[in-house]
DNA sequence: AGATATATACTCATCCAGTGAGTATATATG
DNA sequence: CATATATACTCACTGGATGAGTATATATCT
């Protein structure tokens, strides 16, 4: 019940969708953009990118049509569908991460695309994330309190997680000033 | 080049091996032990545990033999092989994690088993981990320095990672006192 | 006595994550 | 002239993870 139970740790998927909101593109280009803009947030290999795009297509979030090129290999031009657009904005405004890693990854990714496509909802996204952190800090604190004292390693692990969450609070407070996000 | 590039993020595997060092056991029991002792360090579902054990068997790290029971379903009794033992102790003394998550997970797991099976090498394990952190802090700092200023999100991500590494340094210093690990 | 919950012990189908190598061509650089 | 880099994508394979299913035994509650 600790990690890995992502209601969806799937944001490279959403990031690819997010780049397609701005207009049609193809796998190679999307991967390039991704690496340039979010390469230190996530790592996404080229083949992974293609795999995800394939999945998005079979799901109906994007549509592909082949564009022949005279000299270079043909491109699969990709467009986001109405369904994909819907899924993307749902993720953008509703998704929240609760552990250090997923906050760094998911939250930053959401912030990036909110800035691009929905600047007006940034403060709402920000607030729902901070609330989430607040409440998971409380949960962790009570968990630690009630942990049998002989569970040394579990305690050390939870302690570090708690400290990491507090660190993230400070980091987010800095983001608030950097992005001029108003309180409430 | 940021996350996910674990030379092996495989420590639940090694943890299962580690429990088998103490003597033969079976899947159900190993999963129970795991959850009780490291359940807040890792999450490992029962079916995952069985899947990993199956893999360890085909690799030759453990051997299985069926023990019929009168009333309850038969058990697959598992024993660690010489090869498995070798792999385990190599991991115990050589493995190192470099990001926040893998340190929390892997390092704590190694510490747990070192305490059980190799208390004399704890201080060596501890030191190689702190050295690793030290050097990855340095790497991160130079990376951040040379990051083009327009890469706002990459910078935020790396900043947080850096702060997390510093946090881990403090956390590990506390572990040193708690476990009476000598410096050098 | 009967119902329900919990513990024992494991299997299976399914999907997502991730790597590494391969294929093929074009243009730029030494 | 050779080599490196950029364009554009495919494939095979392994590992990670969940959720549900199977089957029986014992303990607990009413």
B139 contact A CB<8A:
no
CB-CB neighbors (< 8 A) of A4 in chain B? 43
Q: Which residue has the higher pLDDT, B11 or A138?
A: A138
What average pLDDT does range A56-65 have in this prediction? 91
Q: Alpha helices of chain B — where are they, by DSSP H? A: 11-21, 27-38, 46-59, 82-94, 100-102, 108-117, 122-145, 152-178
Give residue A54's pLDDT.
92
pLDDT band with cut points at 50, 70 and 90 for residue A138: very high
- Three-state DSSP at A133 gives helix
pTM comes to 0.80
Question: Cβ within 7 Å of strand C: which of B 39-78?
Answer: 46-47, 50-51, 54, 69, 72-76
Nearest-nucleotide field for B3 (CA, C1'): C18
Q: Which residue has the higher pLDDT, A7 or B123?
A: B123
What average pLDDT does range A28-48 have in this prediction? 88
> Whole-number Å distance, CA B46 to C1' D13?
24
Q: How far is A41 from chain B (nearest CA, A)?
A: 6
B156 contact A CB<8A:
yes
- Give Cα separations from B83 to B55, B56, B80, B95 (angstroms): 14, 11, 8, 17
d(CA B128, CA B148): 32
**A101-137 tens-digit pLDDT:** 777 778 888 898 888 889 998 999 899 889 988 988 9
d(CA B178, CA B9): 26
pLDDT band with cut points at 50, 70 and 90 for residue A98: low
Size of interface A-B (CB pairs under 8 A): 106
Determine how β-strand A75-80 pairs with β-strand A62-67: antiparallel
Give residue B36's pLDDT.
85
Which parts of chain B sit beneath pLDDT 50?
A: 1-8
pLDDT band with cut points at 50, 70 and 90 for residue A9: low
d(CA B137, CA B110): 22
Residue A3 has pLDDT above 50, yes or no: no
Give residue B172's pLDDT.
93
**A151-177 tens-digit pLDDT:** 888 889 889 989 999 999 999 999 999
Give residue B85's pLDDT.
92
**B18-66 tens-digit pLDDT:** 899 989 999 999 999 998 888 888 889 999 999 999 999 999 999 998 8
Residues 6+ apart with CB under 8 A from B46: B28, B31
Q: How far is B136 from chain A (nearest CA, A)?
A: 15
Give residue B2's pLDDT.
32
Q: Which residue has the higher pLDDT, A2 or B63?
A: B63
d(CA B98, CA B80): 28
The mean of the pLDDT values for chain A is 85
Helix, strand, coil in percent for chain A, rounding step 5: 65, 5, 25
């Amino acid at each position: 019940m600790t990690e890995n139970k992502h209601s969806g740790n799937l944001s490279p998927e959403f990031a690819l969708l997010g780049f397609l909101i701005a207009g049609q593109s193809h796998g190679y280009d999307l991967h390039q953009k991704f690496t340039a803009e979010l390469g230190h947030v996530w790592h996404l290999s080229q083949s992974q990118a293609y795999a995800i795009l394939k999945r998005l297509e079979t799901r109906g979030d994007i549509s592909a049509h082949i564009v022949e090129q005279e000299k270079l290999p043909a491109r699969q031009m990709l467009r986001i569908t109405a369904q994909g657009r819907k899924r993307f904005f749902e993720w953008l405004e509703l998704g929240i991460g609760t552990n250090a890693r997923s906050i760094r990854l998911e939250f930053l990714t959401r912030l990036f695309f909110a800035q691009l496509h929905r600047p007006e909802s940034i403060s709402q996204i920000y607030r729902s994330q901070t609330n989430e952190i607040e409440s998971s800090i409380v949960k962790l604190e009570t968990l630690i309190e009630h942990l049998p004292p002989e569970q040394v390693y579990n305690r050390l692990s939870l302690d570090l997680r708690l400290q990491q969450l507090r660190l993230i609070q400070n980091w987010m407070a800095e983001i608030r000033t950097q992005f001029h996000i108003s309180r409430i």
